[in-house]
Amino acid sequence: MAGRAAVPEVIWARPERTGRGPKPAFTRADIAAAAVRLADAGGLDAVSMRHVAAELGCGTMSLYNYVPRKEDLFELMVDAVSGEHELFEPTGDWRADMLRNARQTKTLMHRHPWMVRLMSGVYGFSPNALRYLEHCLACLDPLEAAAGTKIELVAMLNGCVTTYVSNELSTAERVRSLPWSQEQENAVRIAYLGSQVASGAYPRLAASFLEDAGPIDLDAVFERMLERVLDGFSPRG
Amino acid sequence: MAGRAAVPEVIWARPERTGRGPKPAFTRADIAAAAVRLADAGGLDAVSMRHVAAELGCGTMSLYNYVPRKEDLFELMVDAVSGEHELFEPTGDWRADMLRNARQTKTLMHRHPWMVRLMSGVYGFSPNALRYLEHCLACLDPLEAAAGTKIELVAMLNGCVTTYVSNELSTAERVRSLPWSQEQENAVRIAYLGSQVASGAYPRLAASFLEDAGPIDLDAVFERMLERVLDGFSPRG
DNA sequence: GCGCACTACGTACGGTGTACGTAACTACGA
DNA sequence: TCGTAGTTACGTACACCGTACGTAGTGCGC
């Protein structure tokens, strides 16, 4: 035996308990909850194997019995917050239902700002993610379209929501580890942007700044985006 | 003086050269090119301050004269590849022009797969990013819409392209540091997905798998997505 | 009851970002 | 013209990271 060949693994395919030996001190849910707690409190960078282990009250390396790689820990986290989706009874109005789903996703990402960074990694399909996908498909039953099209709709809607929130929170998550506040960071960036626009090198951009003088209504931008996505899938649209 | 207060900084606002002292051995372009070279060859994880310095042939800490934080290095990289956009003369057909832009973005992200991970961080607006935005606005001159709407269009299109490529490459970038191949990883994930779908817990998802038996035409999915986004902004759409 | 698979976890290694100190150098103010 | 202040260059050092590996204890299946 020249050492077991390295073989890929999906954490969800590995049984949580295998009958033999002492029974585990924690469940996957415990671990995910601890990691989510840390991330909520201190940002994604606060989620290290050592910290999570400490939060659980066990040795660092004991964590590796449950989670073979840190990536798998992230997968647990994504699944845990995917489970926070409220899977309501479809009403028969697919547009309204999907709007509700999308708004829920946004709320959820505001509650867990670090999610956008993990979502862009697309960690396979965890159980709760599959449940949510199935729920969306149920909401889309009234829509007469091919199954593939419906999945494209869900993917595009989720993608747009993620991108939107990512833009919204761009600095918020990043600035945590920095020695200055988000307001300061934003102020500096906006000042630079203003100076560039004022330089005259970007006339159309400058014109756009002059045109929309007032503060931007982010909620309205979000809602418009949703409508546009759904429009793209509405019959005779 | 009790030490300078920490103050945020945008790397683009800091002058590349300040007349005093010996002249720098490298330009920002040199540094960005070195980092991009490393990332192209070995993935984003190969971009460490030490590696970039070695690639340039200087001491690690010398890099910090040019780039105060690693984040700024990323910003340089994003700017460098943003500059790879071909800024063609607008044709007057805004839809065709924007399609061309979007396809170019996709090509560009295929050439630099690590970009998707950086894009989701939204590193402010670098010079080349602003140039590209201005170019898009020029392409949109024929479109009769408010300036804000046009910017929403560009943001949404870019976001969708990024999300799409991110899904497309989800494993490709991640798997680099792992001891197994992308094919193996994909096979295992698909096997798990299949087993879950076959479990009967996700009837609609299962039905969708049965319906689209053949392999998915990714290019067609991409083109459909673009059309849908543009439809959402076309007059009397 | 034996043995094996599992849990638990300490130690250690190679990597990371970067704070800090020192030495050489150059352009500006006097 | 010359000092000196502001740069560049870079070695050392620190705290932290993910995790390979080894060892000890535990409890189920045979």
pLDDT of residue A6: 62
CB atoms under 10 Å from CB of A105, counted, come to 23
pLDDT of residue A169: 83
Residues A130, A154: one domain? yes
Residues B105, B56: one domain? no
Q: Which of A16, A41, A72 is the last residue of a domain?
A: A72
Task: Find all residues with CB under 8 Å of B97, minimum gap 6, and list them.
Answer: B88, B90, B91, B139, B140
- Does A209 or B123 have the greater pLDDT score? A209
Per-residue CA distances from B172 to A158, B51, B233 (Å): 21, 22, 33
Per-residue CA distances from B136 to A193, B121, B132, B175 (Å): 17, 21, 6, 34
Contacts of A134 in chain B (CB under 8 A): 201-205
% residues pLDDT > 90 (chain A): 67
Whether B4 is in a domain gets the answer no
Contact A186, A192 (CB under 8 A): no
- CB of A178 under 7 A from strand C? no
Res A155 pLDDT > 70? yes
Q: Which of B65, B81, B97 is the last residue of a domain?
A: B81
What DSSP character marks residue A5? Answer: P
Q: pLDDT tens digits for chain B (237 residues)?
A: 333 446 778 898 888 877 777 888 899 999 999 999 999 999 999 999 999 999 999 999 999 999 999 999 999 999 999 999 999 999 999 999 999 999 999 999 999 999 999 987 767 689 999 999 999 999 999 999 999 999 999 999 999 999 999 988 876 666 677 777 777 777 888 888 888 888 899 999 999 888 877 777 889 999 999 999 999 999 865
A63 touches B: beta carbon within 8 Å: no
Residues B40, B154: one domain? no
- CB of A49 under 7 A from strand C? no
CA–CA distance, B215 with B208 (Å, rounded to integer): 13
Res A89 pLDDT > 90? yes
CA–CA distance, B214 with B164 (Å, rounded to integer): 20
pLDDT of residue B172: 63
Contacts of A224 in chain B (CB under 8 A): 152
- Does A102 or A9 have the greater pLDDT score? A102
CATH number at residue A63: 1.10.10.60
B192 touches A: beta carbon within 8 Å: yes
Whether B6 is in a domain gets the answer no
Query: If you compute the radius of gyration of chain B from its CA atoms, what whole number of angstroms results?
Result: 22
CB atoms under 10 Å from CB of A46, counted, come to 18
- CB of B22 under 7 A from strand D? yes
Which residue, counting CA atoms, is nearest to the C1' of nucleotide D9? B62
- CB of A26 under 7 A from strand D? no
Contact A139, A96 (CB under 8 A): no
Interface test with A, best of B189, B219, B225 (most A CBs within 10 A): B189
Whether B3 is in a domain gets the answer no
Nearest to A117 by CA among A165, A178, A181: A165
Q: Which of B81, B105, B127 is the last residue of a domain?
A: B81
CA–CA distance, B172 with B130 (Å, rounded to integer): 29
> Measured in Å, how far apart are chain B's first and last C-alpha atoms?
62
Residue appearing with tokens 């096997």: B191
Residues A146, A235: one domain? yes
Interface contact B166-A211, CB threshold 8 A: no
Query: What nucleotides of chain C have any atom within 7 angstroms of a protein Cβ?
Result: 4-11, 15-21, 24-28
Residues B89, B77: one domain? no
CA–CA distance, A22 with A136 (Å, rounded to integer): 40
Res A99 pLDDT > 90? yes
Nearest to B83 by CA among B37, B133, B49: B133
CA–CA distance, B23 with B25 (Å, rounded to integer): 6
Nearest to A226 by CA among A157, A132, A159: A157
CATH number at residue A167: 1.10.357.10
Q: What's the CA B68/C1' C5 distance, rounded, in angstroms?
A: 51
Residues B76, B89: one domain? no
Residues B140, B73: one domain? no
Beta strands in B83-149 (DSSP E): none
Rounded to the nearest 5 percent, the helix, strand and coil shares of chain B are 65, 0, 35
Contact A224, B237 (CB under 8 A): no
Contacts of A225 in chain B (CB under 8 A): 152, 156
Going B180 to B181 to B182 to B187, the CA torsion angle's sign is negative
Residue of A nearest to B147 (CA): A208
- CB of B20 under 7 A from strand D? yes
Residues A66, A181: one domain? no
A14 touches B: beta carbon within 8 Å: no
Residues B172, B198: one domain? yes
Whether A11 is in a domain gets the answer no
Contact B160, A163 (CB under 8 A): yes
Residues A31, A63: one domain? yes
- Provide the number of structural domains found in chain A: 2
Residue A71, token pair as written in the block: 């990536």
CA–CA distance, A79 with A228 (Å, rounded to integer): 28
Q: What's the CA B17/C1' D6 distance, rounded, in angstroms?
A: 12
A137 touches B: beta carbon within 8 Å: yes
- How far off is chain A from B29, nearest CA to CA, in Å? 19
Could you give the 3-state DSSP secondary structure of residue A30?
A: helix
Task: Find all residues with CB under 8 Å of B107, minimum gap 6, and list them.
Answer: none
pLDDT of residue B3: 33
Closest by Cβ to B121, choosing from A174, A180, A208: A174
The range of the structural domain enclosing residue A119 comes to 83-237
Whether A18 is in a domain gets the answer no
Which residue, counting CA atoms, is nearest to the C1' of nucleotide C8? A62
Q: What's the CA A41/C1' D9 distance, rounded, in angstroms?
A: 40
- Does A141 or A21 have the greater pLDDT score? A141
Residues A42, A108: one domain? no
pLDDT of residue B173: 66
Residue A138, token pair as written in the block: 């149920």
Nearest to B93 by CA among B232, B230, B237, B236: B230
Interface contact A229-B228, CB threshold 8 A: yes
Whether B59 is in a domain gets the answer yes
Rounded to the nearest 5 percent, the helix, strand and coil shares of chain A are 65, 0, 35
- The one-letter code for the residue type at A63 is L
Residues B65, B117: one domain? no
Residue B95 burial class via C-beta count within 10 angstroms: exposed 0-12, middle 13-18, buried 19 and up: middle
CA–CA distance, B42 with A128 (Å, rounded to integer): 33
Contact A205, B137 (CB under 8 A): yes
Closest by Cβ to B204, choosing from A138, A192, A211: A138
- Cβ within 8 Å of A, B 92-121: 116-117, 120-121
Whether A230 is in a domain gets the answer yes
Residue appearing with tokens 């990024």: B162
Whether A14 is in a domain gets the answer no
Q: Is B214 left (phi over 0), alpha (psi -120 to 50) or beta?
A: beta
- CB of A48 under 7 A from strand C? no
CB atoms under 10 Å from CB of B98, counted, come to 22
| A7-16: average pLDDT | 83
